[in-house]
C-alpha cells in the first residue's frame, strides 16, 4: 500500500472539523 494515499487521507481528516 502506498503511504501517500494514507497521508492524503490523514490530512483530509485533519482539515475536517474534529
Q: Report the run of H or E that residue 4 belongs to, with start and end.
A: helix 3-15
Rounded Cα distance, 2 and 16, in Å: 22
Rounded Cα distance, 4 and 12, in Å: 12
> What is the per-residue pLDDT for 2?
84
Buried b (16+ CB within 10 A) or exposed e, 1-18: eeeeeeeeeeeeeeeeee
Chain centroid to Cα 15, Å, comes to: 9
> What is the per-residue pLDDT for 4?
95
Over the stretch 1-18, which tens digit does the pLDDT of each residue have? 689 999 999 999 999 876
> What is the per-residue pLDDT for 8?
95
Amino acid at each position: 500500500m502506498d503511504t501517500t494515499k494514507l497521508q492524503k487521507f490523514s490530512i483530509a481528516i485533519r482539515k475536517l472539523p474534529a
